[in-house]
C-alpha cells in the first residue's frame, strides 16, 4: 500500500472493504463434530454450537445441570428480576429471557438488566474483571502471558520504556518489578488509568511506573526518548492509528524496538460476521489487518522483524477465564449488580472468542525496529 493510499482515509474500517470474502464461520460437519464432544447435547442446543467453544459449552452445561431444578422454566423473583442460573439456562436452551425490558428478547445473547451503570469500566466492573483475569489485569493471560508475548523485547534496567496499554497496571508493574525498570505507562481509558494508578500505588510502584490517562487519537510523544515501546490489545480501539505509529517511530531511539499485540482482521474474514462483532462491543472498535500495520510501519520507517499469530493461545486464555467465571458463579454468592457485570463481561469475551474461532478476527504480534 502506498503512502497516498495509507493517508487517504482516517477511518481504518475501510480495510474491511478490501478483504477477501465470504467464508461460513462454521461448516455443518463441524457442528456435528462439536455435538459429539459435549457431555449432553439436545436439538434445542444445536444453534448455540456456532457461538461457543467446546470448553465454554461444557462449562455452561455443567453449571446449568448443577442446579437442583433442571427445568428451563424462567421463574422471576417478586420484583421481576431473573436469577443468574435461570438466565443462563434459558439462553442455553433457546427460551425467551425477559429482564424487565420492553419488547421481545433476542435468544442469541445473554440478556442483562439495563438499569445498572452502562459504562463498561465502572468501579464495580473493574473490581469484578480482576477476579477473572487477575489483579491489575483487564484482559486474559495475566503475568505468565505477558512474559511470553513480550519476551522478544529483552528488557534491561538501563532501558527507557513506554507502555501504550497500561490498563489496570498489571503488565507494566510486573515487568518493572522483574527487570528493575523505570518506565512510562499511558492508558486511553480514564477509568482504567485511574484503576492502574491505584494498583501501582498499592504495590509501591508509583514512582517506577507512573500511569497517565492520554488521548490516543491526538497522541504526541517526545522525540528519540525510548529504547522500547509496546502495546497489547489496545490499538484496535484507536481510530487514528496512523498517528500513533508515526509517534512511536519518532519517539524511538536509533535501533529502538516496538512490539504490538492486537486484534487484527482475518485474511478471509466474513464481512457480516465482522460487522456483528463490531456492533457487539461496548465501544465500536477500529481494527486493521496485519497488512495495514505492515504498510504503516514501513511508511514511518519501522522495519518489521517478525509477525506471529497468537490467536490459538489467546483463545485458550479466554476459555480459561470463562471457565473460572463459571466456577466462581457456581460457588459464590453475588449481588445483582455484580452478576449483571459478570454476564455483560462474559458476553464481550464470548463474542470475541467466536470471532477468533471463525477466523474473522486474529490476535497477532508484530515486532519491529527503527
> What is the three-state SS of the chain?
CCHHHHHCCCCHHHHHHHCCCCCCCCCHHHHHHHHHHCCCCCHHHHHHCCCCCHHHHHHHHHHHHCCCCCCCCCCCCCCCCCCHHHHHHHHHHCCCCCCCCCCCCCCCCCCCCCCCCCCCCCHHHHHHHHHHHCCCCCCCCHHHHHHHHCHHHCCCCCCCEEECCCCCCHHHHHHHHHHCCCEEEEECCHHHHHHHHHHHHHCCCCCCCCEEECCHHHCCCCCCCEEEEEEECCHHHCCCHHHHHHHHHHHEEEEEEEEEEEEEECCCCCHHHHHHHHHHCCCCCCCCEHHHHHHHHHHCCCEEEEEEECHHHHHHHHHHHHHHHHHHHHHCCCCHHHHHHHHHHHHHHHHHHHHHHHCCEEEEEEEEEC
Q: What average pLDDT does range 210-223 have in this prediction? A: 97
Confidence of residue 96 (pLDDT cuts 50, 70, 90): very low
Nearest to residue 60, comparing CAs of 322, 315, 314? 322
Q: What average pLDDT does range 352-361 have in this prediction? A: 91
Supply the pLDDT for residue 81. 54
Neighbours of 304 (CB within 10 A): 15
Q: What average pLDDT does range 137-157 have in this prediction? A: 90
Q: What average pLDDT does range 226-247 have in this prediction? A: 96
Q: Is the pLDDT of residue 160 over 70?
A: yes
Say if residues 82 and 98 touch (Cβ distance below 8 Å): yes
pTM here is 0.73
Say if residues 187 and 193 touch (Cβ distance below 8 Å): yes
CA 64, distance to chain mean position in Å, is: 26
Q: What average pLDDT does range 23-41 have in this prediction? A: 41
Say if residues 167 and 196 touch (Cβ distance below 8 Å): yes
- Where is mean pLDDT largest: 23-37, 48-62, 295-309? 295-309
The CA distance from 363 to 8, in Å, is 26
Range 11-31 burial, b when 16+ CB lie within 10 A, else e:
ebbebbeebeeeeebeeeeee
pLDDT cut 90: percent of the chain above it: 47
Q: How far is CA 305 from CA 24, 150, 364, in A?
A: 33, 14, 13
- Where is mean pLDDT largest: 86-95, 256-265, 351-360? 256-265
pLDDT digits (tens, 9 = 90+) for 168-178: 999 999 999 99
Q: What average pLDDT does range 35-59 have in this prediction? A: 45
Q: In this structure, what C-alpha cell is assigned to residue 81?
A: 428480576
Q: Is the pLDDT of residue 130 over 90?
A: no
The CA distance from 268 to 20, in Å, is 5
CA terminus-to-terminus distance, the chain: 19
Say which CATH topology domain 123-314+358-369 has: Rossmann fold (3.40.50)
Residues 6+ apart with CB under 8 A from 168: 126, 130, 136, 137, 138, 192, 195, 196, 199
Average pLDDT over the chain, rounded to whole? Answer: 76
The CA distance from 173 to 282, in Å, is 27
Confidence of residue 33 (pLDDT cuts 50, 70, 90): very low
Residues 6+ apart with CB under 8 A from 133: 139, 140, 141, 142, 321
Amino acid at each position: 500500500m502506498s503512502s497516498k493510499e495509507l493517508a487517504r482515509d482516517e477511518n481504518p474500517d475501510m480495510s474491511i472493504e478490501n478483504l477477501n470474502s465470504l467464508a461460513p464461520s462454521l461448516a455443518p460437519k463441524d457442528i456435528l463434530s462439536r455435538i459429539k464432544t459435549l457431555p449432553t447435547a439436545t436439538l434445542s442446543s444445536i444453534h448455540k454450537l456456532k457461538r461457543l467453544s467446546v470448553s465454554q459449552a461444557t462449562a455452561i452445561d455443567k453449571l446449568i445441570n448443577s442446579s437442583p431444578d433442571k427445568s428451563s422454566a424462567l421463574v422471576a423473583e417478586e420484583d421481576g428480576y431473573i436469577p443468574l442460573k435461570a438466565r443462563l439456562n434459558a439462553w442455553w436452551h433457546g427460551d425467551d429471557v425477559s429482564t424487565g425490558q420492553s419488547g421481545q428478547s433476542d435468544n442469541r445473547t445473554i440478556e442483562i438488566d439495563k438499569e445498572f451503570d452502562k459504562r463498561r469500566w465502572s468501579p464495580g466492573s473493574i473490581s469484578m474483571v480482576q477476579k477473572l483475569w487477575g489483579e491489575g489485569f483487564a484482559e486474559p493471560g495475566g503475568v505468565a502471558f505477558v512474559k511470553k508475548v513480550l519476551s522478544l523485547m529483552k528488557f534491561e534496567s538501563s532501558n527507557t520504556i513506554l507502555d501504550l496499554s497500561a490498563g489496570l497496571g498489571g503488565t507494566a508493574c510486573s515487568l518493572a518489578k522483574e527487570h528493575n525498570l523505570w518506565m512510562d505507562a499511558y492508558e486511553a481509558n480514564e477509568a482504567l488509568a485511574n484503576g492502574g494508578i491505584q494498583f501501582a500505588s498499592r504495590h509501591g510502584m508509583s514512582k517506577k511506573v507512573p500511569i497517565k490517562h492520554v488521548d490516543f487519537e491526538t497522541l504526541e510523544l517526545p522525540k528519540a526518548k525510548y529504547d522500547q515501546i509496546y502495546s497489547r490489545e489496545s490499538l484496535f480501539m484507536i481510530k487514528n492509528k496512523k498517528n500513533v505509529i508515526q509517534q512511536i517511530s519518532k519517539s524511538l531511539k536509533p535501533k529502538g524496538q516496538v512490539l504490538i499485540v492486537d486484534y487484527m482482521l482475518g485474511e478471509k474474514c466474513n464481512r457480516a460476521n465482522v460487522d456483528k462483532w463490531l456492533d457487539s462491543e461496548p465501544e465500536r472498535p477500529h481494527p486493521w489487518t496485519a497488512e495495514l500495520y505492515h504498510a504503516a510501519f514501513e511508511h514511518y520507517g519501522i522495519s518489521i522483524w517478525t509477525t506471529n499469530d497468537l490467536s490459538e493461545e489467546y483463545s485458550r486464555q479466554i476459555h480459561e477465564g470463562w471457565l473460572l467465571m463459571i466456577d466462581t458463579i457456581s460457588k459464590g454468592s453475588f449481588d445483582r449488580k455484580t452478576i449483571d457485570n459478570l454476564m455483560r463481561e462474559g458476553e464481550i469475551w464470548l463474542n470475541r472468542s467466536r470471532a477468533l474461532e471463525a477466523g474473522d478476527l486474529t490476535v497477532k504480534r508484530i515486532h519491529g525496529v527503527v
